[in-house]
Structure formats: structure tokens, C-alpha cells
């Protein structure tokens, strides 16, 4: 049974189903929620990055008129601790605070002003403790937490790491802390349910993760915790961790009333997880032809006060240090560690932008050392299908590194002056000091969950009189899953109208809307459910007409028999509902070092070329153009694809040039949009976007995730272009005006002589001694998957 595109089907620029409500301002975001008798929740947060709480007295706060509840750690009925990977974080401070902004108490009152007064009336005595803010010292310092200071240490090698070519380049890079900076601050509304449970409408990325963690804190079984998706105003990883969810539910249960939280912008910066800042040392060696002989890398990521996804992010960074290049000999090591800085976790790219910034700078350095063209060096080393990664996994799907590089090189360079001089429309730059630079970068990003994490989704689809309904737990955070789901239902079912219902925990988990995975996971579950519904519909039509169902097809909403129209989908079975629930799970993956050697589901590849104008006296940069060529499997929706590419590039450009959460003595000094700068429309460059469409095996239509690779590439490519314009090394992002104008910007000195932690199994799930690595790699060799080849 063939599938054919119909109006609004797969391959068309179908419009967002939630678009009309959004352009009218009528779409209901979590912050717009309200309920009869609603109370307002407010959080009291620690002013100290590290302190012992010697006394909390809530009596004065509770006595204020209009205050319905004041909760501290003592009032948490279930398990005090939660976390996405390790349950190391208290719902409310458990006698010690470990970062500035840690929730200490929560209040529910009749309005925000009263709740705020009550929070200020909670008396807390702190005994400040020394704040550990240097991640390098974390490795040897007294543990900040009973679980220790190392979230995960990974170490492995392949081939002969000491092999050397004629040229060796060695540098240390630093990446700053980026905030997801979604525009709608965290919000949610919780209420007690008649069965003694709790329900919450919340802007989140992962409904079932929230449900589980709310269950831990409240002591309720999962069936009594109902999570529904409220309108989400951007996410980018920053809503993957629980923030207000548990607090709102605890207060709703304590007061018997609906309780709403809506964070301020400042609180949003304090409450959610940022992108890991990190330091990366890399040594590349190459032969005279430019072929990479060996790569050695070390990574130190500052995970902040609590684990979140730090144990997972570090593996991405370390394993993808090789970049999209064939590396036969290597030695790689990395740590993510605990400090009293803000907790870091998921953000678009998930550890890869850090790696990409470093490995691409190294490739340019190699090219310079060899006197080669930067693109030629990359082409010379480009991964190909069949190659084996340093961590042992074979690239067994399309690996179009060469194609994306050549695709981006084929885009004509912009001619003439830039639209905006450095400094924006104010044109503060003088023409005489403006220099143009051109840089290239190419990156690899793993798609979907890795290392054995369950990566699944379930979809329920029904069809009645041509109207399809799609139900999943996939969080729509702006990325466009709702459009994809509609397109699939139109294409497969020939549905004339499609409704994507509100995601909730009444259906099985769809996993997180992150890791570029929802089109692949939930999209495929929807596709399977649509196929099953179509089979049922056609079986019925076949019986009615005395035909063989195998002869029937659906095209453009018409049921055809042997190619001839028979009836329409809308009229085929009046009043009859066909329904199917289907599950999809990605192929199994395994932890780093496992004999199976399959860590990742698949990869996306992206190449970009940046053209920048730099005023070298003022240090101002204007990004003139970014040309992009990305491997996208297949194009599902050209307009939405372009939006994902452009949005990712501008976010990456932000990290390269302006975005940094500045932390001083453990405190964020710029928690607002006056001092934390994200790109404006003036900063955004012209973007020329081209694609390589090489279908991904095992996926409907050959589709694959596209959301993260553009960001991963934009960081190194903008840095490369600014280096080309200025001749400066610029080993740190964001590149700030003073780095250019004053020649500052070298990364902090890191000695890398840090001893390994006394107990390397502290928290990490994979810590390989060299012998174990040898064993694992030896097994691979026996299986014909030798990384050393």
C-alpha cells in the first residue's frame, strides 16, 4: 500500500495547527492558566551558594492573613530527593544549601503579593560555608554532598594513542555557561483530585518524568499523579528538569486548593539548568598529507550543585571530541563534577557544542600548521559510512560528512558590504577598521537517547468519517511535532481533518522532547498507529466490496482499488471509528565500553560557512551570512525545517558571541535580559540553507531529527570566521569585544595533572580502567569492529 502526499501531507509546508491561535494571542500558555479559588505559589530561595541551615521558623509566615501553607523539607511526605539521573537533589533544602537560588521553602497564599510577603517572613538562619566554585578543585576537595563530587568520569582509548605524525597542535579551550532563555518563564497550575491524588498542567518537556518525580515527593503512586501539557513558550532543554512541579503539587495537596506558580525572569535563571561551561584540552597529530594520526582529549565540565544530566552530557562531549573525522588512534578522558555553581543540565546540543567548538578550532589549527586549506583538511579526514568511531561503534547509516561540506562550499560567497556594520543599525564601527573573515565548520551530533536509555513512544490514533485524532505524551514545545503528526495522519490515512490532542500521562511515555528525537520516536509511533488504522479501515472496505484488502490504497483521501477510485476515506464507513495504539522503540544502545559498542541510535551531520565583519578596534562583530548544509534524512516540512535550522544557528551564534551566564562566587550576576544578551533581529545573519537528503534506515520516509546540529556547528563556525578576520587565537566563547580589541580571552590555566578521584566509582556509571578498555576494544576487534582497524 503506497503512501502518497496530499494537501498538507508529508513533504509539504503544512502550517502549524496551533498557529492561528498563536498569531491571535489566544493560545493558552502555562502562564495564562487560572482556576476558581486559585492560590499563588512563591519559592523562598537560598541567597548563599553554600551554607548550613541552622534554623527555619515559618510561624510568622504562616500567621499572615491570606497565607494557606508554608512548606519546608520537613513537610515533604514522600522522598525528599529527586533528579533526572541521580536522586541527589532535595525538593526543598535538607539542612544544607548548595547553590544560590536553591529552594528552601514554598508558600501558597491568596495572591502573589501576600505569598511574597510570607516568603520574606520565613526566618532562616544560615551558617555560610566556603563555596567551591572551581571545578578543577572539585576533584580533590571535600565532598559537597554525600554522593561525592564526581558525577561521572569517562576514560577510554583506541589504537595507539602515542602515534605521532609530522605536525602536532595542542590547545586548551573554554566554553561559557549558556542559558536556554526560553521566552515564557516556568509556570504551572496544580490541584488536588477527588481520588486523593494530584493533577498539574505545566509547561514541560517530559510529562512522565515529571509524573515520576512528583510521585516520589508526594508519596503518591503514578496513577494518582496526572500531568498534562500546558502551552509551552520554548524549552531548548531547560524544561527537562523538574522545577516548580513538585512544589505546586505539594502545596495543592497541603491546601486542598489549586496552586499556580509563575516564575519571574530572574527566578527562571536561578531555577532551571544551564548549558555546562567547560574546559577542553585537545592534541591532534597529523601526517604530512593532513591525515589525522591521533587525537588526545580531556574535558572538565562544571555540573554545578546537583547532577541533573551531567553524567550523560560528559559522555557526549568526550566521545564526540573526535568530530566527524576518522580517528584511528586516540585517548579520551573527561569529568563532570559538582560545585556550588548553578546546576547544569540539558540544553540543545547536550554536550556537543562544547566538543564541536574545540575540535573544529583544532582542525583549523592543523590546516594552518600544514599550510592546507581548512576545508581540504576536513574532506581528507571526513568520516564515511563503514568507518568505526573511537568508541567502537560502526557508522552503519548514511554518513554524508563530505557531502555537507561540499554542499556548503558550493554556496556563493556574499559580495559587497554587509547589511549591518558591526555595532548594528547604530553603525558605531568605522569602515576602515572593519575586516571580513570566513570560517568553515562541520559537526556530528548523536540523535535520540544514548547508552541504553529507553527511547520509546506510544501513539493512539483514531479515525471517524475522515477525521483523525492523534494522542501521544509528546510535549510540543514549539518545535513542530503537532504539524508532523498532522502531516503523517493526512498522508497515511487520507484524513481530511486531524486533531492532535493535549498530551498527558494517561497514555504511555513519549520520553523527553529533546535529543532531536521526537520526530523519530513519536513521529514513528504515530506513523505505525496510522498504518494500523488504515489497515482496519481498508479491511472493512474490502469486506463490503468483496475485494482483497491488499488491492486497496489510500491517496489524497480517496480509497482506490487497483488504482481506480472506490470511495473516500471520509465516506468509507459512516459513523464507524477505527482505532489503534502503537509503540515504537529505537534500536537498543549500550553504555560506553560495552562489548556491543553501540552507544548511539544515529547521527546528524551539519556543515556551515560563516562570513563575519569585525571592527578590530571596537571588538564588535557582525555576522554577515551563514551558509548551512545539513543532513536531514528527508524533508518533512520545508518551512518548518528552515525554521529549525535558522533558530539553531542563531542560538549557536549567541553562544559564540554574546551569551554567557556570568557566575561570581557562585552567584549569577546577570539573571535578566538586560545583562544576559540573546541575539536580536539585528544580530541575526542572512542564512542560506541547503540539505543533503539521504534517508535514515528504519525510519518512515527516512526522516531523522534536525533540531540540534545547526546549533552545534554555529558555535565553531562563527569563532572560526572571527579568528580569520582578526588573526587572534580566541580559544574561548563567547568571544567578547575585549577579547578582540584588547587581545584578552585566553582560557584559564588548567594543569590537567589532577589526580583521579580516590574512589572512581563514586557516582559515575562507567569508569573504565585501561585494562577494561583494552578488554572491551579487544572484544570489538574479535567481532570485526576494531576501532584501530
Partner 1 sequence: MSDEVRFSLTVDGTSHEVTARWSESLLTVLRDRLGVRGPKTGCAHGRCGACAVRADLGDGDPHVLCACLVPAATAAGGTVETIASIGGPDGELSDVQEAFLAEGAVQCGICTAGFVTAATELLESNPEPTRTEIEEALYGNLCRCTGYGRIVAAVETAARTRRGEAR
Q: What is the dihedral of CA 725, 728, 732, 737, to 10 degrees?
A: -70
- Taking a C-beta distance cutoff of 8 angstroms, is the pair 718, 685 a contact? no
- Give the number of residues written for the chain: 789
- Is residue 438 within 8 A of residue 721, CB to CB? The reply is yes
Judge whether 679 and 655 are in contact, CB under 8 Å: no
Quick one: three-class SS letters along 325-344? ECCCCEEEEEEEEECCCCCE
Q: How far is CA 736 from CA 594, 621, 742, 787, in A?
A: 42, 9, 10, 39
* Nearer CB in complex with partner 1: 149/204: 204
What is the CA 474 to chain-centroid distance, rounded? Answer: 15
Is the CB of 155 or the CB of 651 nearer to partner 1?
Answer: 651
Q: Smallest gap, in angstroms, from Cβ of residue 661 to partner 1? A: 15
- Secondary structure (3-state) at 106: strand
**Which runs of E-coded beta strand occur in 589-698?**
602-615, 620-631, 663-664, 667-668, 686-692
CB 45 to partner 1: min, Å? 18
Return the ∠ at Cα 578 (arms to 576 and 579), rounded to 5°: 145
CA distance to 213, 270, 505, 641, per residue, from 243 (Å): 10, 10, 18, 30
Output 577 or 680, the one with its CB closest to partner 1: 680
Phi and psi for 52 in degrees, rounded to 5?
A: -95, 135
Binding site for partner 1 (CB under 8 A): 13, 15-16, 18-20, 22-29, 31-32, 181-185, 232-236, 262, 264-265, 419-420, 424-425, 477-480, 639-640, 642-643, 645-651, 672-674, 678-682, 684, 686-687
Query: Cell numbers of 532, please?
Result: 494500523
Q: How far is the CB of 519 from partner 1 (least distance, A)?
A: 15
CB of 159 or CB of 422, closer to partner 1: 422
What's the min distance (Å) between Cβ of 640 and partner 1?
6
Q: How far is the CB of 358 from partner 1 (least distance, A)?
A: 24
Nearer to partner 1, 148 or 685 (CB): 685
Shortest distance (Å) from residue 64 CB to partner 1: 15
What does the DSSP 8-state code read for residue 394?
B
Q: Minimum distance between the CB of residue 19 and partner 1, rounded to whole angstroms?
A: 5
Q: Is the peptide bond before 734 cis (omega within 30 degrees of 0)?
A: yes
Smallest separation (angstroms) from partner 1 to the CB of 441:
17
Toward partner 1, which CB reaches closer, 168 or 670? 670
Shorter beta-carbon distance to partner 1: residue 197 or 648:
648
The residue among 716 and 745 lying less far from partner 1, judged by its C-beta, is 716
> Residue 150: what are its φ and ψ, rounded to 5°?
-105, 115
Question: Smallest distance, Å, CB 710 to partner 1?
Answer: 9
Which C-beta is closer to partner 1: that of 203 or that of 207? Answer: 203
Which grid coordinates are listed for 626? Answer: 551563514
Residue 682 makes CB contacts below 8 A (sequence gap 6+) with 420, 424, 425
How near is the Cβ of 628 to partner 1 at its closest, in Å?
11
The H helix count followed by the E strand count for the chain is 17, 31
Query: 419 or 467, CB closer to partner 1?
Result: 419
Give the count of alpha carbons within 13 A of 684, CB side only.
13
C-alpha neighbours within 13 Å on the C-beta side of residue 756? 15
Contact 554, 538 (CB under 8 A): yes
Within 10 A of 222 (CB to CB), how many other CB atoms are there?
Answer: 14
Q: Can you tell me the distance from the alpha carbon of 667 to that of 132, in angstroms, rounded to the nearest whole number?
A: 12
Residue 702's region, left for phi above 0, alpha for psi from -120 to 50, else beta, is left
3-state secondary structure of 168: strand
Q: Closer CB to partner 1, residue 288 or residue 681?
A: 681
CB of residue 14 to partner 1, shortest distance in Å: 10
- Which one, 383 or 721, has the nearer CB to partner 1? 721
**Which CB, 265 or 579, lies closer to partner 1?**
265
Distance CA 689, CA 411 (A): 9
Cα–Cα distance list, 450 to 656, 666, 705 (Å): 27, 31, 14
Q: Closer CB to partner 1, residue 23 or residue 137?
A: 23
Smallest distance, partner 1 to C-beta of residue 17, A: 11
Q: Is the Cβ of residue 29 or residue 411 nearer to partner 1 in the bound state?
A: 29
User: In terms of Cα–Cα distance, which of 610, 607, 647, 635 is closest to 625?
Assistant: 610
245 or 651: CB nearest partner 1: 651
Torsion of CA 479, 200, 103, 233, to 10 degrees: 20
Q: How far is the CB of 658 from partner 1 (least distance, A)?
A: 13
Q: Burial, 480: exposed, middle or buried (Cβ in 10 Å; 0-12, 13-18, 19+)? A: buried
Least distance from partner 1 to the Cβ atom of residue 621, Å: 16
Please, what is the minimum distance in Å from the beta carbon of residue 183 to partner 1? 5
Distance CA 289, CA 263 (A): 56
Residue 311 or 652: the one with the smaller Cβ distance to partner 1 is 652
The nearer residue to partner 1, 296 or 660, going by C-beta atoms, is: 660
CB of 84 to partner 1, least distance (A): 22
DSSP H helical ranges for 477-611? 481-493, 518-545
Compute the least distance from the CB of residue 25 to partner 1, in Å.
3
Phi-psi region of 11 (alpha: psi -120 to 50; beta: other; left: phi over 0): left
The b/e string for 635-672 (b: 16+ C-beta within 10 A; e otherwise) is: bbbeebbbbbbbbbbbbbbbbbbbbbbebeebbbebbe
CB of 114 vs partner 1, minimal distance in Å: 12
Which cell numbers in the block locate residue 113? 503579593
Residue 540 exposed, middle or buried by CB count within 10 Å (0-12, 13-18, 19+): middle
Strand (E) or helix (H) holding 686: strand 686-692
Amino acid at each position: 500500500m503506497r503512501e502518497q502526499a496530499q494537501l498538507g501531507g508529508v513533504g509539504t509546508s503544512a502550517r502549524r495547527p496551533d498557529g492561528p491561535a498563536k498569531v491571535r494571542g489566544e493560545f493558552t500558555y502555562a502562564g495564562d492558566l487560572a482556576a476558581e479559588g486559585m492560590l499563588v505559589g512563591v519559592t523562598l530561595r537560598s541567597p548563599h551558594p553554600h551554607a548550613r541551615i541552622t534554623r527555619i521558623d515559618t510561624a510568622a509566615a504562616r500567621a499572615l492573613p491570606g497565607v494557606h501553607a508554608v512548606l519546608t523539607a520537613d513537610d515533604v511526605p514522600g522522598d525528599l530527593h529527586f533528579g533526572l539521573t541521580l536522586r541527589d537533589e532535595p525538593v526543598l533544602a535538607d539542612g544544607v544549601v548548595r547553590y544560590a537560588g536553591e529552594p528552601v521553602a514554598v508558600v501558597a497564599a491568596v495572591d502573589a503579593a501576600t505569598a511574597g510577603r510570607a516568603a520574606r517572613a520565613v526566618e532562616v538562619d544560615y551558617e555560610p560555608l566556603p563555596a567551591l566554585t572551581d571545578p578543577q578543585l572539585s576533584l580533590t576537595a571535600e565532598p559537597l554532598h554525600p554522593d561525592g563530587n564526581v558525577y561521572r568520569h569517562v576514560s577510554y582509548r583506541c589504537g595507539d594513542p602515542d602515534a605521532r605524525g609530522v605536525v602536532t597542535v595542542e590547545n586548551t579551550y573554554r566554553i561559557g555557561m549558556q542559558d536556554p532563555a526560553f521566552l515564557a518563564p516556568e509556570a504551572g497550575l496544580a490541584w488536588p483530585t477527588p481520588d486523593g491524588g494530584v493533577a498539574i498542567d505545566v509547561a514541560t518537556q517530559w510529562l512522565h518524568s515529571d509524573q515520576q518525580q512528583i510521585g516520589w515527593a508526594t508519596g503518591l503512586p503514578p496513577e494518582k499523579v496526572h500531568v498534562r501539557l500546558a502551552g509551552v513558550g520554548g524549552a531548548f532543554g531547560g524544561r527537562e528538569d523538574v522545577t516548580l512541579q513538585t512544589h505546586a503539587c505539594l502545596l495543592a495537596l497541603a491546601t486542598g486548593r489549586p496552586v499556580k506558580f509563575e516564575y519571574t525572569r530572574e527566578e527562571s535563571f536561578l531555577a532551571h539548568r544551564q548549558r555546562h561551561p567547560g574546559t577542553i584540552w585537545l592534541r591532534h597529530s597529523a601526517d604530512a598529507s593532513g591525515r589525522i594520526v591521533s587525537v588526545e582529549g580531556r574535558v572538565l565540565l562544571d555540573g554545578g550543585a546537583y547532577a541533573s544530566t551531567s553524567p550523560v552530557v560528559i559522555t557526549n562531549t568526550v566521545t564526540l571530541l573526535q568530530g566527524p573525522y576518522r580517528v584511528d588512534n586516540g585517548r579520551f578522558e573527561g569529568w563532570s563534577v559538582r560545585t556550588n555553581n548553578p546546576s547544569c543540565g540539558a540544553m540543545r546540543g547536550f554536550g556537543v557544542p562544547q566538543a564541536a567548538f574545540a575540535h573544529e578550532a583544532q582542525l583549523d589549527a592543523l590546516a594552518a600548521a600544514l599550510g592546507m586549506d581548512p576545508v581540504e583538511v576536513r574532506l581528507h579526514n571526513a568520516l564515511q559510512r563503514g568507518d568505526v568511531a573511537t568508541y567502537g561503534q560502526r557508522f552503519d547509516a548514511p554518513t554524508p560528512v563530505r557531502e555537507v561540506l561540499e554542499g556548503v562550499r558550493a554556496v556563493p560567497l556574499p559580495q559587497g558590504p554587509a547589511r549591518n556594520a558591526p555595532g548594528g543599525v547604530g553603525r558605531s564601527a568605522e569602515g576602515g577598521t572593519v575586516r571580513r573573515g570566513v570560517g568553515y565548520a562541520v559537526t556530528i551530533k548523536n540523535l535520540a537517547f544514548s547508552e541504553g536509555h529507553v527511547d520509546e513512544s506510544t501513539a493512539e490514533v483514531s479515525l471517524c468519517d475522515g477525521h483523525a485524532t492523534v494522542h501521544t505524551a509528546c510535549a510540543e514545545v514549539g518545535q513542530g511535532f503537532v504539524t508532523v503528526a498532522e502531516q503523517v495522519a493526512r498522508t497515511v490515512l487520507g484524513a481530511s481533518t486531524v486533531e492532535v490532542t493535549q498530551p498527558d500521562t494517561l497514555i504511555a511515555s513519549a520520553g523527553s522532547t529533546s535529543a532531536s528525537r521526537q520526530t523519530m520516536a513519536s513521529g514513528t509511533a504515530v506513523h505505525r498507529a496510522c498504518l494500523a488504522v488504515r489497515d482496519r479501515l481498508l479491511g472493512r472496505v474490502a469486506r463490503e466490496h468483496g475485494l482483497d484488502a491488499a488491492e486497496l490504497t489510500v491517496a489524497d483521501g480517496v480509497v482506490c482499488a487497483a488504482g481506480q477510485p472506490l470511495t473516500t476515506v471520509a465516506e468509507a464507513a459512516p459513523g464507524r471509528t477505527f482505532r489503534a495504539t502503537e509503540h515504537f522503540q529505537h534500536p537498543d544502545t549500550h553504555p560506553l565500553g560495552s562489548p556491543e559498542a553501540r552507544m548511539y541510535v544515529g547521527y546528524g551531520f551539519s556543515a556551515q560557512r560563516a562570513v563575519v565583519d569585525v571592527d578590530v578596534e571596537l571588538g564588535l562583530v557582525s555576522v554577515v551570512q551563514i551558509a548551512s548544509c545539513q543532513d536531514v534524512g528527508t524533508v518533512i516540512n520545508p518551512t518548518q525545517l528552515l525554521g529549525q535550522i535558522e533558530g539553531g544557528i542563531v542560538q549557536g551564534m549567541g553562544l559564540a558571541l554574546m551569551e554567557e551566564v556570568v557566575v561570581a562566587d557562585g552567584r549569577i550576576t546577570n539573571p535578566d535580559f538586560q545583562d544576559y544578551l540573546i541575539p536580536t533581529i539585528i544580530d541575526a545573519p542572512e542564512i542560506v540553507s541547503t540539505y543533503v537528503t539521504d534517508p535514515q534506515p528504519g525510519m518512515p520516509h527516512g526522516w531523522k531529527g534536525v533540531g540540534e546540529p545547526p546549533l552545534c556547528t554555529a558555535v565553531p563556525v562563527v569563532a572560526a570566521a572571527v579568528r580569520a578576520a582578526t588573526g587572534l587565537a580566541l580559544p574561548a566563547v563567547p568571544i567578547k569585544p575585549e577579547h578582540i580589541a584588547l587581545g584578552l580571552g585566553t582560557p584559564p590555566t588548567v594543569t590537567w595533572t589532577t589526580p583521579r578521584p580516590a574512589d572512581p566509582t563514586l557516582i559515575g556509571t562507567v569508569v573504565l580502567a585501561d585494562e577494561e578498555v583494552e578488554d572491551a576494544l579487544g572484544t570489538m576487534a574479535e567481532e570485526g569492529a576494531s576501532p584501530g582497524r
